[in-house]
Structure 1
């Protein structure tokens, strides 16, 4: 009877140690961003005298790149959900032929290496004039967001009771009205889950940004940090401050939406 509490305490200690190890890089990133300009290795373990000059430099040099990433990420989320939601509803509730074949095709798109897609898009974008444009990056990043959103939303919509949809149809609502007024409100958790992961995919994208942009006109923050390291290796506080600013939106979204994400991920597996 006394071994169970000891095992529980040991598990707690091991868990705390593992979490501390995993979060240490995040702590060091924040700590380094608050150190004076210069070699980060000379900084202390705790910023007793925080210096925010690195954030001022980061906002001055990388503020436009952060805005670019935000615009591209939000655009990719809107496009991905706009295409995936009706497609998922059709695959879940409409008598569509070859559903298994369509789903297999959606899964196959997730297995194609990103560099293959990026190379193919570069040739097409060069002919269409979409290089170095917001629209080009939004379309490219949506190639990963749309299939993932379809899988998540279809899994959830399959569990919506057909009685609800049939009741709406009996009241005279068409398929579009039923989808807009009944299915979408019920699928809020799944929509938030798909939107969040699509935002994370796009915000952290480096491959498409590197391949499909050749100038500084449209440059996401991931590519900005890559170029920033080479140009400002003696200003590690500014580099780390840029990393903190780039991590903040995703961290905030995960904290705010974690309840919806957990509900949307689990509900699709429960019947």
Structure 2
């Protein structure tokens, strides 16, 4: 009886904690469905549903959402294209100075983003990459590639060398063995690295603020920030509707890829 009461108590505490953590998400959706007005005066439940906030959000922020999606997908593709062979080389080959290189990769993750952003601004100004999608992709990749290398290498260390040697015996070269054997076997790690890269890029604000100075290229994070600033105390319904729309890709990807992420992280941890 005591055990059952304790279990009920733990469940109640867990539900309460989850409710507190999810309340901001509920309030965001609730405000986005209100006809108009400020967030403070919003009723607890959306009794009078209105989608004018979403219409305004799509009208004002639709291009910014597309820009964020293009930058995020481009960063994922570029980062994996660079990180996967680099991680394979560090995991399977005897590279002189590999330990120093891995330490440098780890240290690069500790550099404050504002330092990188300021350095890139100076370089981009000379190269003409300001206010450009390729410029944002390269900037986001500076953080994504080292992280992807660490994730991929941890998984690739678990691939038996005999599998690759068997492919070489059958006549496959290093590139053929990598593309036909290693990459398919690394699906879980690839999905994990891709998902975290996408989420980082999708939520990036610092590079967007520093490396874009016009409205030609504007990710949704910066668009949402300027959306609020442009109206002082705005009608919060379009603002929250934009936040909801910006959350959908991340939620969908997490739901779809969760089993791959769990397998990829677990494989690297076990190794």
Determine if the TM-score, normalized by the shorter chain, exceeds 0.5: yes
1:11 alignment counterpart: 10
1:197 alignment counterpart: 196
Verify the 8 A CA contact 1:206 1:222 in the aligned structure 2: yes
Verify the 8 A CA contact 2:140 2:201 in the aligned structure 1: yes
Q: Distance in 2 between matches of 1:245 and 1:194?
A: 23
Secondary structure at the counterpart of residue 216 of structure 1: coil
Q: In the TM superposition, what is the alpha-carbon distance from 1:84 to its structure 2 partner? A: 0.2
Secondary structure at the counterpart of residue 41 of structure 1: coil
Q: Distance in 1 between matches of 2:218 and 2:86?
A: 31
Residue 236 of structure 2 corresponds to residue 255 of structure 1: no
1:129 alignment counterpart: 128
Q: In the TM superposition, what is the alpha-carbon distance from 1:109 to its structure 2 partner? A: 0.6
Secondary structure at the counterpart of residue 268 of structure 1: helix
- Provide, for residues 187-244 of structure 1, a one-character-per-residue CA deviation record: whole Å limited to 9, x for no partner: 0000000000000110000000000000000000000000000123331000000000
Alignment of 1:112-261 (within 5 A): 112-232=111-231, 233-261=233-261
After TM superposition, the runs of 4+ consecutive aligned structure 1 residues lying more than 4 A away are none
Q: Distance in 2 between matches of 1:50 and 1:236?
A: 14
Choose 55-64 or 90-99, whichever is displaced more. 90-99
1:93 alignment counterpart: 92
Q: In the TM superposition, what is the alpha-carbon distance from 1:3 to its structure 2 partner? A: 2.5
Verify the 8 A CA contact 1:192 1:261 in the aligned structure 2: yes
Q: In the TM superposition, what is the alpha-carbon distance from 1:42 to its structure 2 partner? A: 2.0
Verify the 8 A CA contact 2:67 2:218 in the aligned structure 1: yes
Secondary structure at the counterpart of residue 217 of structure 1: coil
2:67 alignment counterpart: 68
Q: In the TM superposition, what is the alpha-carbon distance from 1:39 to its structure 2 partner? A: 1.8
Q: In the TM superposition, what is the alpha-carbon distance from 1:94 to its structure 2 partner? A: 1.2
- Provide, for residues 15-59 of structure 1, a one-character-per-residue CA deviation record: whole Å limited to 9, x for no partner: 110000000000000000000122222221111221000000000
Q: Distance in 2 between matches of 1:131 and 1:35?
A: 38
Q: Distance in 2 between matches of 1:246 and 1:227?
A: 15
Q: TM-score, normalised by structure 1?
A: 0.98
2:109 alignment counterpart: 110
- Provide, for residues 140-180 of structure 1, a one-character-per-residue CA deviation record: whole Å limited to 9, x for no partner: 00011000000000000000111111111111111101110
Q: Distance in 1 between matches of 2:29 and 2:22?
A: 11
Verify the 8 A CA contact 1:84 1:146 in the aligned structure 2: yes
| CA RMSD between the two structures | 0.8
Q: Distance in 2 between matches of 1:74 and 1:234?
A: 31
- Where does structure 1 lack aligned partners over 5 or more consecutive residues? none
Q: In the TM superposition, what is the alpha-carbon distance from 1:258 to its structure 2 partner? A: 0.5
- Where does structure 2 lack aligned partners over 5 or more consecutive residues? none
